[in-house]
Amino acid sequence: MPGYNPAHFHSGFRLGPLRIPPDLIDRFADLVETTGIRGKFSVVPYPFGLGRVDQEVEGVSPLDLRHFLDVVRERLAPYLDISPEVLTHWNALDLGTGRLLPWWEHVWSRRQTRETLAPYLTLALEILGAVDLPASGMTSPWDFGAEVETDYAEALLDAQRAVNGRRLTWYFLHTDAMSRHVAPRVTVLRPALGEAVINVVACDREDFGAPLWRGDDPRPDALLTADGRGGRLAEVIRAGGPAVFHTHWQTIFGFGSNRGLDAIRLLAERLNTQFGDYTRWVRCQELAEYAAAAAAVTVTALPGGEAATNLAVSSPFTCREFTLSLDWNASAGAVQVNGASLRHVHDRAAIGEGTCLLEAGKLYLCWRLGGTQQITVRRA
C-alpha cells in the first residue's frame, strides 16, 4: 500500500497516522532478503479509490509511488508472489462511472456473480500488469467472495486467462485455526483443460501483530515460542504442514515503531532455527501447483516382472518436489523416473527433488512431476 496506513482508513480515520513512511518498503525488503521468507505480497491496485497505481494516487508523490513499485518489482517479486488485494480495499468501485459505491468491497461481493466479478478482478490484474507486476493469484480484503465462492473462483480463472494467460491460479481468503493439517483446498479442477483454482488457507485465525493496532505488543509466541515447542505453527508443522500464516502492512508499519518488523524477523528466525532442517519457505503459487497436481495425478501399474515395479504417473500440472509414497516391504535398488535415477537418502530431512527414501514399509519418491512419466523401482 504506497503512502497510506490501511488501519487509519479501516478504523473510520481514528486509528494511527494517515501516512506510512516511504522507506518502510525498503526495510521490509531487507527483512525478506535476510530471513529467506517466501509467500505472497499484496499490492492494492486502486488504493481507497484515490487512483490507480499505474497512473497516479492522490496524495502520494510520483517519486514515492515509483519507488514503492520499483522495490516490489526488483526486491520482493523474486521471492514473493504478487497479488492484488482485489481493487480498492475500501468501497467497491463502479467500473462504469469510476466512482466509489456506498458498500465496502467485501459487502458488495456478496450479491455478485461470475459475470460481474470477472471484470472487477480483471481490472485489478490489468493494473498490476501495467506496472510489470503480473499476479499469480488474488488476495481477498476481509471476506471478499466468501458468500459466492464458486463464482469468485471461476471469475478469477476467467480474469487470469484473459490477462496473464494462466490456467492455474489461487486465492487467499480463509483461515482455519482448529485443524491440525491445513492443506490448500481445490475449488475448481478441470484436468482435461489443465485448469485449477486453489484456495490457500492460513492456519492462524488472527494476524499475530494485530495487538499493535490497539497499542499493545505483537504476540509472536502465539505462532511459535522460542523453544519451538508451542504455538500454532509448531502444532501444524509437526502434523506434516503446510503452515501458512499472514500479517498486514499496518502490522509491518508497527504504527511508527520497529515492533512490527522486529516481531516478523523474530518469528522468521525462530522458524529457521527450530524447523529449518526439514521445512522450507515456499510461495503460494508453489502450494497451488502441488495441490492441483496431487488432486489430478493418476498412477497406473505397468508390466514389470519380478525384478522391478513399473508405474505410469501422469498429471496435467507441473509440480516441483512432488512426493509419492508406495507400500514397500522389501529392499529397494535403483529408482528411476523416465530413466533418470533418484538418489537414495536415509533421513526425512534429506528428502528433496531427485531423491527417494525407504522407511517403515514405505518408499517415498520426490521428483519434478509433469506430463506422463514412468517410474521404475528395482528390487535389491
CATH class for the domain made up of 6-288: alpha beta
Residue 63 burial (CB count, 10 A)? 9
**pLDDT for residue 26:** 97
Peptide bond between residue 242 and the one before it cis (omega within 30 degrees of 0)? yes
Report how far residue 185's alpha carbon sits from residue 287's, in angstroms, rounded to the nearest whole number: 10
**pLDDT for residue 306:** 74
Residue-range domain boundaries for the chain: 6-288, 297-379
pLDDT tens profile 354-369: 999 998 899 999 999 9
**pLDDT for residue 10:** 84
Q: Stretch 282-303: mean pLDDT, rounded?
A: 96
310 within 8 A of 338, measured Cβ to Cβ: no
pLDDT band at residue 36 under the 50/70/90 scheme: very high
pLDDT tens profile 114-155: 999 999 999 999 999 999 999 999 999 999 999 999 999 999
Q: Stretch 314-327: mean pLDDT, rounded?
A: 94
Q: Give the lowest-confidence range in 136-140, 327-331, 371-375.
A: 327-331
Q: How far is CA 340 from CA 344, 354, 364, 374, 377, in A?
A: 13, 9, 16, 10, 12
Residue 286 main-chain phi, psi, to 5 deg: -65, -40
pLDDT tens profile 64-102: 999 999 999 999 999 999 999 999 999 999 999 999 999
Question: Would you say residue 194 has pLDDT above 90?
Answer: yes
For the chain, percent of residues with pLDDT exceeding 90:
82
**pLDDT for residue 17:** 87
Amino acid letter, 122: T
What contacts 107, CB < 8 A, 6 or more positions away?
Answer: 92
C-alpha cell at 316: 496435467
Question: Would you say residue 339 has pLDDT above 80?
Answer: yes
Report how far residue 232's alpha carbon sits from residue 237's, in angstroms, rounded to the nearest whole number: 9
Name the CA radius of gyration of the chain, rounded.
23
Which among 28, 24, 29, 33 is positioned nearest to 64, based on CA atoms?
Answer: 24
User: 106 or 333: which carries more pLDDT confidence?
Assistant: 106
> Cell 459466492 belongs to which residue?
148
Confidence (pTM): 0.94
Q: Give the lowest-confidence range in 90-99, 129-138, 179-188, 343-352.
A: 343-352
pLDDT tens profile 289-299: 999 999 999 99
pLDDT tens profile 255-265: 888 899 999 99
